[in-house]
Amino acid sequence: MLLSCIKNENRKLHHSVIWLACVFIPIIPAVMGTGNYQMNLEILHDGWYSLWTQFSLFYSLFFFPPMIGLYAAYLWRLEHFNHNWNTLMTMPVPEIDICLSKLFVLCKVAVITQIWMMILFFLCGKYIGLPGGIPIDMIFWSLRGTLAAFAIGSCQLFLSMVIRSFAIPIGIALGGGIVGMLLTAMNSSYGFFWPYALMFMGMNANKSANVLSGTMAAYLISNVFFFVLFLGIVLFILKKKDCK
Amino acid sequence: MKKALYNEFYKGRHAYVWAIPLAFICITILWQIFCNQKLTSEQLAYGYTYLLYQFPIMNSLMMPLMIAVLASRLCDMEIKGDTIKQLYTLQSRKAFYDSKFFHEAFFLLLFVIGECAIICLCGTIYHYTDNLNMTAFGQFGAVTFVVGLVILMLQHFLSLRFTNQILPLIIGLAGSFLGLFAMFLPHTVSRWIIYSYFAEFQTAKMYWDANTREMWFTPLSFPYVKFVLLLILGVALFIISQKIFAKREV
């Protein structure tokens, strides 16, 4: 049943504008981050590491959470239209399958976005003549960021389910990103308690040295906690609440 | 027109649209609480000037997406309810388009007033020792509102034009990105990016000496000609978008 649900969710994304966001948005930090790197070569000496700071800063700080919000809002939008909630809830499909299928598709799009971002990073690095390949550190940071994307995805899936407006959860994601930045600026350990802060902690945004050295376990626990927490809330609401 | 505008407010009375500018105002307050911790006497001496320098940068980041969310929230209710055809039998297309725009502009105005209030409050609470330059303060308020209006025109048109709200929001998100990055680009490039205009009209320029870790500001003359051109562009955009929308078959 879960596989059928995933197939259905994938079919809803066929010819969807969501791919435009997935492809187009990461190009902006790629082009502008590389341009900024080129203009500041006198202070940026660390090659791939310096380019990473320019790439990841705004991308993971402010824009990745709203992008995840956009994906989640799109996945629930169809259910909020017409009487689709009634149709969905009266189908002989367990709530957990509905929930997991949406989450699976959301995570899939997030992973594709991250892969595309890394391809752009490699291409931009090569274009400006950086030697060798992408250092393994950055691939690891990107994977860490993807884990955070799953936790944020779970949170956004919850918000987009309970808020019928398409736009509001996306605004909340931007706000969440900014609050996350302020929290981690106050004290880096505060970030573990705020899902939107996990992304740029994991991505090592604007830093060449690993910011999570020694706290990797806390980071992983935090990601799993938020992922399970919001998934649990979504499931609880689907099981207990009636359609409105 | 007055009646149409009243209707818009009536339709949105339970939509909690006011929560959008309020949420962003709360984020701005949080940002200021964070920035104003442990200020030195030197920092207090350029407190207001720094705020007038910092707020346009924050606006470049937050406002394009906030405006996209605002426009989408108010336009989407007609798209979801499929009410546009019905509304056209009750009011002119122009009145519908205009009243919805002014309704959105009202919330934008609330946000701008909120930001201005935060600047004044910060000065009072944290005891800034410099004087608030009222001309620069007025220019900041006017620029924030006018640039916001021009972006709102674009988002308003897109939100009504496309039944799928993902596209206007992608453009809003891209706008935030472009606005932020444009500040790092040469002026010849950034002047073509409307989303960067919050910072384009900054009233002060910051200088930073990395060796002494000193920061100082010099006032910038306000580009009145550019501001008037922006107003003209805004009006032209509004008329064109209104005409395109009015001609569209529903």
**A163 neighbourhood in chain B, CB within 8 Å:** none
Of B24, B69, B170, the CB nearest to A20: B170
**A24 neighbourhood in chain B, CB within 8 Å:** 170, 174
- pLDDT cut 90: percent of chain A above it: 33
pLDDT at B228: 92
Domains contained in chain B, number: 1
**A174 neighbourhood in chain B, CB within 8 Å:** 62, 65-66, 176
Angle between helices A27-39 and B166-182 (to 10 degrees): 0
Residue B100 is which amino acid? K
CB B213 within 8 Å of CB B126: no
State mean pLDDT over A148-173.
91
Contact B34 A67 (CB under 8 A): no
pLDDT at B112: 96
Question: What is the rounded CA–CA span in Å between residue B32 and residue B218?
Answer: 22
Question: What is the rounded CA–CA span in Å between residue A193 and residue A212?
Answer: 15
Contact B184 A36 (CB under 8 A): yes
Contact A66/B at CB under 8 A: yes
Largest CA distance in chain A: 63
State mean pLDDT over A21-44.
85
Residue of A25, A27, A28 to mutate, interface with B, max B Cβ within 10 Å = A28
**A185 neighbourhood in chain B, CB within 8 Å:** 34
Contact A182/B at CB under 8 A: yes
Contact A62 B169 (CB under 8 A): no
Residues 6+ apart with CB under 8 A from B76: A165, A166, A167, B159, B165
pLDDT at B153: 93
pLDDT at A47: 84
Residue A206 pLDDT level (bands cut at 50, 70, 90) = low
CB B40 within 8 Å of CB B148: no
Question: What is the rounded CA–CA span in Å between residue B205 and residue B219?
Answer: 6
DSSP states of B27-66 as a string? HHHHHHHHHTTT--HHHHHTHHHHHHHHHHHHHHHHHHHH
Residue A244 pLDDT greater than 70, yes or no? no
Which domain, by its residues, includes B242? 2-247
Which chain A residue has its CA at the smallest distance from B79's CA?
A81
pLDDT at A106: 93
Query: Tens digit of pLDDT per residue, chain B (250 long)?
Result: 788 888 888 888 888 889 999 999 999 999 999 888 888 888 888 889 999 999 999 999 889 999 999 999 998 888 877 788 888 888 888 888 999 999 999 999 999 999 999 999 999 999 888 888 899 999 999 999 999 999 999 999 999 888 888 889 989 988 888 888 888 777 788 888 888 888 888 888 888 777 777 788 888 888 889 899 999 999 999 999 999 988 877 7
pLDDT at A1: 81
